[in-house]
Amino acid sequence: MDDVRVAIIGAGIIGASCAYHLARRGAEVTVIEKEEGVAMGSTGRSAAGFRTQFAQPHNVDLSLLSLEWYAANESGYRPEGYLFLVPDGDLAEREALVEMQRSRGADVRLLTVEEAQQIVEFDPAGIAGAAHGPKDGFVDPDQSTQLLMRNARSEGTVFHRLETVIGVERGSAWTLITDDGQIEADVVVNAAGAWSGGIAELAGLDVPVQPQRNDVFVTAPQDRGGPLPLTVDLTSGVYFRTEGDRLLIGHHDHDSPKGFLTGVDWDHLEEMMPALFERYPWFEQEELDTKASWWGYYEVTPDYTPILGRDPSAEGWINASGFSGHGVMHAPGCGQLIAEEILDGRAHTIDIEPFRIERFDGADLTTETAVI
C-alpha cells in the first residue's frame, strides 16, 4: 500500500496531521483546501485547550496518544492544567472518572476545595472538590498545523490551496472534482471539519457531522497574575483561562442551533455572566474586549465523539471528522491512526472501534459528556 494515492479534503489540523503521518510512511498525498492556507477553519478559532479529562476512555486514550506528539515537537504545548470544579453530590461520580482516567495513564488527581482555592480564587458555595490535570493545558493550533503541513510537504505531499471540492465521483478510483480541475485518488480522507457532512453528501454518503457555533470571549489586559489553568465550573459549564495578560471565557451551549450561523453570539455571553460572577466575584471588575472576542464552528456528531476510519458504505472512503470541539487536542493521534487504517489495513495503536461510523447503526450510543 506504500504507493497508495491519498487525497485529503481540508487543511485544518486534522488534514495536516493525516497528511504528515501518511506521507512519512510513503503514501502519495494530495491535500485540497478551499482557503488560502492551513488552519483557516475551526482550527484557527480554537481555544487551544488540551486535556486528558474525558468521560469516555477512548477519548482519554486519543488525548494521551496526541500528547506524545505535542510534548515532543515545537507545538507551543504549555502544561498549565485543567481544573474542574465539582458540584455537591457529584464527587463520587468524579472520583470514578478520575480513577478511569488514571487507569489509562492520565495524570489527574482529586483536590479538596481548599486545595483548589490555592490555584484559583472562587466562591466555594455548592462545590465539593475539584479534579486537576497538571499536564493538561494549551498548544498553539496554528503553529502545530503549520509544522505538520511543512513536514508533510517535505515528505512529498502536494498542497492545493484556494481550491474547493465541488463534486465526488467513484469509478475504478475516486475522482474529486474541484473548481480548478480534477484529482484522482485510491483513498479519500474526509477531513473537512464542520463541512464534512456536506462533503460526504457529495459522495452520496451519510456522515452525521453538523456545524454548531461556539464563542470565546476575551477580556482587556488585566493584572490578576497567572498563568491559571483552564477552570470549568461544572455547575454551569462556564470556563475561563488566562492567555498572556487576558482572560478567555467560554461555554458550549448544547442547545444552540446547528448550521453555519456567523458572528459572536453576545446573547450567549449575557446568559453566562450570572454564573460567572457568582462563582468568581472578582470577574465583575474585568472589562470585556469585544474586538478580541471570536467565534467558530464546533463540528458535532450525535454522541460528541469523532468519526474515524473506513466507511463501510464506500471502499476507500475514510472519515476523520466530527471532533465535536476536541479536534486540536486529538489531531496528532488521529493522523497516526488514519495512516495505520490506510497503510496497515486497520488502525492498531489504539482501538478505534468506538470511533467507527458503524456505532450509529446500534441502539445505544455512548455519548461523551465532558464537552465544554
Ligand X SMILES: Cc1cc2nc3c(=O)[nH]c(=O)nc-3n(C[C@H](O)[C@H](O)[C@H](O)COP(=O)(O)OP(=O)(O)OC[C@H]3O[C@@H](n4cnc5c(N)ncnc54)[C@H](O)[C@@H]3O)c2cc1C
What does the binding site for ligand X look like in residue numbers (CB under 6 A)?
9-15, 32-35, 40-43, 45-49, 164-165, 191-195, 199, 214, 216, 296-299, 321, 323, 325-329
Nearer to ligand X, 129 or 149 (CB): 149
Nearer to ligand X, 25 or 213 (CB): 213
Nearer to ligand X, 111 or 301 (CB): 301
Residue with cell 489586559: 221
CB of 152 to ligand X, least distance (A): 13
Nearer to ligand X, 129 or 296 (CB): 296
Contact between 138 and 77 under an 8 Å Cβ cutoff? The reply is yes
First to last CA, the chain: 39
Enumerate residues 6+ apart whose C-beta is below 8 A from 363. Answer: none
CB of 40 to ligand X, least distance (A): 5
CB of 206 to ligand X, least distance (A): 17
- What SS3 class is residue 66? helix
CB of 256 to ligand X, least distance (A): 12
User: Across the beta sheet with 317-321, what order do the strands follow?
Assistant: 158-160, 28-32, 5-9, 187-190, 317-321, 307-310
CB of 363 to ligand X, least distance (A): 27
CA separation for the pair 341, 190 (Å, rounded): 14
Question: 14 is written with which cell numbers?
Answer: 486534522
Nearer to ligand X, 133 or 193 (CB): 193
* CA 354 to mean position of chain CA atoms: 17
- Least Cα distance to 257 among 218, 304, 197, 297 occurs for 297
Nearer to ligand X, 101 or 321 (CB): 321
CB of 194 to ligand X, least distance (A): 6
Nearer to ligand X, 193 or 354 (CB): 193
Nearer to ligand X, 96 or 166 (CB): 166
CB of 268 to ligand X, least distance (A): 11
CA separation for the pair 332, 337 (Å, rounded): 9
- DSSP labels, 4-47: -EEEEE--SHHHHHHHHHHHHTT-EEEEE-SSSSSS-SGGGGS-
Enumerate residues 6+ apart whose C-beta is below 8 A from 121. Answer: 280, 282
Q: Counting every residue, how long is the chain? A: 372
CB of 233 to ligand X, least distance (A): 16
- Which amino acid appears at position 56 of this protein? Q
CB of 71 to ligand X, least distance (A): 15
- Which amino acid appears at position 263 of this protein? G
What are the distances in angstroms from CA 207 to CA 16, 59, 149, 211, 366?
21, 20, 25, 13, 17
